[in-house]
Structures are given as C-alpha cells and as structure tokens.
Structure 1
C-alpha cells in the first residue's frame, strides 16, 4: 500500500479503484442491477458514536468521492457475460434478458471491474430481487416520510445531517409498524411484499440509509436515489432534482405492469404533485396514496392534491400520525 493510500485509509477512505453494488430488480422479461465505480470513496463504516464531530467527519467522507468514468464492468449470468461502461459520475446500469426468468426471491450476482488492476475491491456481490406477481408493492419516499429530516428547514436539516448518524437518527413514531404490516414480513408462508425507496437523497447516502433501515427494522428493499454529489455540493444534499423522482417511479411501474402499488410520501417538498401525476398516468396501478403532514404551510395546497387523487377513485390518506395511516390501511384491507 502506497503512502497516499495509507493516509486515505487512516481517514476512512478507500484509495484503490473499487466497485459499489446496489440491490437490483427483476421484472416481467429482464433483470437489472446498478452501482458505481470509484477511484476514491468512503470505506465501510464500522463504528458509530454520539460525538457530533465524529459524525460530521463520517458524513464528509461519504461525499469525498472520485468517480471513475469509462470503467468496464461485467457479470456472468448462466454462462453468459453481461457488461456495461460507467458514466461520467461512475454510475453503471446493467440490464439483461435471461433465457428463462428465475423464480421469485433474491438472486445473488457478482459484478467485477475488468479494465483495472484486480484487487479484493474490484469485485462485489449484489442481489437482484424478483417479487412474486400476486403481491402488491410499495413505493416510498425517505426524508420526512419515515426518517425525521426537517427537509423544509435548511438549518435544522443540516444540524440533523451533520450531528447524527444512522444509529442515532429517529423514524416517525409508528411508521416502522406500518411498513412492516404493509410488507407482510412476519408471514413466513410467502415472500415479503416488495418495497422501493425512491428519494432525492444522493447515492452517497446509500449505505447510511440502508443501515438506518436495518437498525430500525424497516423492510428490505430496492433503492433508487439521486446522482452522486461531490463534497463541494454537500450543502445541497437532497435539495435538487425532485423532478427525477417521476421517471424513476414510472420505471418501476413499467417494469411491473402486472403489479399494483401503494405510494408513500410527505408534504415537505414535491411528493404530492409527483404522486398526483403518477395517479393520472397510471391510475389502474395505484391502490392508495399516503402523505404525511409535516409542513403547516403546505396543508391547503396538499389537501387540494388529495382531493384530485381521491376524485380518480384512488384512496388517499393525508395524515399526521402513523396510527391514522395504519387504521386507513386496515379499512382498505391492505393489512390485518
């Protein structure tokens, strides 16, 4: 290991070219998985602390990234090679059509970088999740939907982001119970209902959010996040490109045309308008919409959107406490 890489290691950074894999999805005809190739990025976090300075440094590391453009990545599926090349931000998206679609469940794949010197970090294992066709799915926002984030307040949002971590941040009261009931995770006779987490948060925060979900017992799922950000744009984390949520949700709905979905979001930013547009274009695929009320100044405008959605025959619950959402789901027969 070079002196520079030793310094990066001491700082909690991986200085070798490495690959990060995120959960992939399998639909009617094709499978896909995605990830990043980085020349520098955060090493996996092993220790958590309540000390604010420690948490601040840990957050900064997540944005000390150097993407690698033009890296060739490959996986082998049933003896055939699937390949892709990374974009300018290091992102890759692999899609392939298998000869026969696998059974529903989790399917492990190994992805490797081909045009760099091989090392233990140039290959990684990921999972392609194929839901059962008879199930409905859930598409959820993250910030201020289940994770208390104060998205509407710049200073509060930064205070939480910089001083806390995946182990010390809190979900809204009752939201974990609601999501567990929707996923039917306790039913051992069938696969849990699939969850898709679509957020304006960047891929930099993927491991952070997954660890938060694991710690709090939220359903395992597929994450579709926003473009990787460099360190100098950290203060704008989660505050841009809300409009990209619409095509990401659309992609899920088109990927699973046989499935119906529940949409879960909040009124702190653009979820009401995005979900209204989704219900307009995919009316028959949406079972219900849930919007958490966290911003008083948005109440009247959001209530108008709720009325539009319910006017299309889609139940829409605009709630302040998760107990209201749970009661609503029980009334619809979505949970027991």
Structure 2
C-alpha cells in the first residue's frame, strides 16, 4: 500500500474514532448532548445515552487505539429507558430515553437564570438501571431580549458543498471527507458573521441551522464551522438516519424542516426571520409555504442556485414573483455577494460587511487557483 494512501486511511480512522476519545474511553453509559436553544421562558435540548463496551485504556495513542475505538463505536448502542435529570439554574426536569437512547427536553424556565449570557450551561445526570449515575453538560443558546431579526439557514449545499445532485459524492462528503476538507461556499463565513452582528456590530442575532443529515455527523459539522469561522448556533438535524444495529434504515424526513422552522417562529414570536437555503432540494417551496402561513414574519429568503435546469429556473422565478406580492423578497443567486448587497440595502448589515464578503470570495478563489 502506498504511503499517501496509508496516511489517508490513518487520518480517516482517527476522525472516525473521535467520538470515543471525547468519552475518554469510558465503559458503560455515556451522555452525548447536542446544543440546545430557547428563550427566557423555555428551552429545548436533545441528546443520546450510549452504552459502549470494552476498554482500550492499556493501548498507547495511535492507530491501534483508534481502531479499537472505531470498533467500540460500531458496537455501542443507544440505551433506552434511562432517566435523565436536567437542570438549568433552579429549573429542573426529568426525561426518559426512547428505545434508541434519545432524549428530548422541553424545560419551562419558571425561575430566573443567574446570568443573562447568550450561552447557558445545563447540567445532566443520567441514571441507568443497575449502574452508577453519569454526569454531563449541554450548551443552550438564548438570544438577547433586544433581538428583532433571526436567521434560519440550511446547511447542505447552502453553507457547504455536499452535492445533493450526486448521491454517492454527497455520502462521501458527509461521512468520509474530513471537516477541514469540506469546502464552504465563498463568502459564507463573512456573510453569516455580518448577519449575526447586524449593522452596528452589536446585534448578536441568532443563527439557527437545519440539515437533512444524521446526528452521527454532528461533531464533524462543529469542526467544519470552527475551521471556516462560521458563527455557531444550534444545529438542528431533521432526522436520525440510523445506521446502527437497532435501526439500519433512515427515518422519513418529509415535513420535518417546515415543522422545525415553524416551531422556531412560534418560540421567537417577536422576531422576523431571514431564511437561507438552496434550489437543489425543496427549500424554496418549503420557505414559501412558511411565508403564506406566517404573514409578515419572513422578511427575505436567499436561495443559492445549484445547477438548476431551465424549467426549475422558471419555477423559481414564478415563485419569487408570488412572494413579492406577499411582501417577501426571494433572492435567487449563486453568489454570496449578491446576498450581502441585498442585506445591506435592507439594513441587515453595514457597507463594510459587503466589502468583507467580497474580499473573502476573492481570497477563496485565489486559494483554489493556486
């Protein structure tokens, strides 16, 4: 086997073993909590309790330990019927994991929080039957009370290239390609940072991300966002694909994206929202339906065009005209700079941010050319 291929395989092995390293190689139950979100009156959180076998504590760091960790990751399973105590300040609740080990938390905030920060830390205690209790933490995002505009963005082929038109390439990029090699669309980081900060640089607007991807790539996406300096936010996946011994087939995802968006609109009922997606799936149609169902709540829609046919372009143009009558702009473009210009024209960002988007695009294209 050639040396470059050997290095590639070792790197992929190291990436695949990462979730087990985060659990410090522990046996028994492990808590994996995902970022939550909420308001000053209620918060939402999701996570999973795993039962994982074996120990590799005697193995030195390297390929051998990574191989053992990958094997343990494949053999671990979600543990159902586990009670999980959740507390945020003096607000507490207890939930129970489902048969696949997932738990979902809706916690009303009846007691005031200690501090007013955007990111709050919830304490978790899992109590598996006949085992010692396991402790963990979860980060929960609460937007500032003064915020009047939020951003809801798709991820796949909106923030990063996944190639939904080519299913094999999409699966490779989702599950195999390292986070550092996943390419963000030019200008996305600067655009999203500008939308987060607002025209005065102080808005700290919520950026909420949705995806059709499975929970198993959550950590990979976190690395991708950090590597590309894209503002983080709760990453809300639409379905659990399974890929486990318990559930080898993916769950259906119809209507899940719209349900999540509407849930966020109901939660943040004093905000307007900017929706960002792509033309490769059904984002324009889903977003348009949200506009119809929530008059005046969606200020604009940005759709990144991905290799559309002439008939698809005609459909989108007709949809854009319909939404314009309803008072919502739908911008169709392949370029983040067009989105930045529209955002500036509508006072979502400042003029300097437009130039930052332009400079980032030029820099990314020069790197590709080099």
TM over 0.5: yes
Q: Is the 8 A contact 2:301 2:331 kept in 1?
A: yes
TM-score normalised to the size of structure 2? 0.75
For the 8 Å contact 1:133–1:258, the answer to whether it is kept is no
In 2, Cα distance between the equivalents of 1:320 and 1:299? 12
The structure-2 alpha-carbon separation of the partners of 1:275 and 1:63, relative to structure 1 and needing over 3 Å to count, comes to farther
- Work out which of the residue numbers 47, 71, 74 in structure 1 matches 2:82: 71
Matched residue of 1:123: which SS?
Answer: strand
Q: Verify the 8 A CA contact 1:179 1:219 in the aligned structure 2.
A: yes
What CA distance in whole angstroms lies between the structure 1 residues aligned with 2:225 and 2:253? 23
2:167 pairs, out of 134, 144, 154, with 154
1:222 deviation in Å?
0.8
Match of 2:126 in 1: 113
Q: Cα–Cα, structure 1 residues 118 and 300, in superposed 2: closer, same or farther, change >3 Å?
A: farther
2-side partners of 1:39 and 1:107: how far apart?
27
Conserved? CA contact 2:123–2:137, under 8 Å: yes
**Taking structure 1 as reference, are residues 232 and 30 closer, same or farther at Cα in structure 2, changes over 3 Å only?**
closer
Q: 1:329, 1:320 → 2: CA distance?
A: 15
Task: Identify unmatched segments of 5+ residues in structure 2.
Answer: 1-13, 54-67, 351-370
Relative to structure 1, the CA distance from residue 221 to residue 62 in structure 2 (aligned partners, 3 Å threshold; closer, same or farther) is farther
Match of 2:64? Answer: none
Contact 1:292 1:320 (C-alpha < 8 Å) held by counterparts: yes
Work out whether residues 199 and 349 of structure 2, in 8 Å CA contact, stay in contact via their aligned partners in 1: no
1:335 and 2:349 equivalent?
Answer: yes
- Pairing 1:221-300 to 2, within 5 Å after superposition: 221-231=233-243, 240-297=252-309, 298-300=312-314
Return the offset for 1:215: 0.8
Runs of 4+ in 1 over 6 A off after TM superposition: 57-64, 185-188, 232-237
Q: Which residue of 2 aligns with 1:179?
A: 192
Superposition RMSD in Å: 3.1
Matched positions, count: 310
User: How many Å apart are 1:112 and its aligned residue?
Assistant: 1.6
Alignment partners' CA distance in 2, 1:31 and 1:133: 15
Task: Determine helix, strand or coil for the equivalent of 1:167.
Answer: helix
Give the C-alpha shift of residue 143 in structure 1. 0.4
- Give distance in 1, aligned partners of 2:281 and 2:314: 14
Q: 1:178 to 1:80 in 2, by over 3 A?
A: closer
1-side partners of 2:344 and 2:73: how far apart?
A: 40
Query: 1:175 and 1:60 mapped to 2: Cα distance?
Result: 36
| Structure 1: runs of 5 or more not aligned | 1-8, 42-56
Q: Secondary structure at the match of 2:349?
A: coil
Contact 1:22-1:33 within 8 A present in 2 as well: yes
> Structure 1 residues 306 and 144, CA, compared in 2 at 3 Å: closer, same or farther?
same
Instruction: Report how far residue 129 of structure 1 moved.
Output: 1.3
Q: Say if 2:99 is the partner of 1:85.
A: no
Q: Structure 1 pair 79/313, CA: closer, same or farther in 2 (3 Å)?
A: closer
TM-score normalized with structure 1 length: 0.82
Deviation at 1:148, TM superposition (A): 0.5
Q: 1:319 and 2:319 equivalent?
A: no
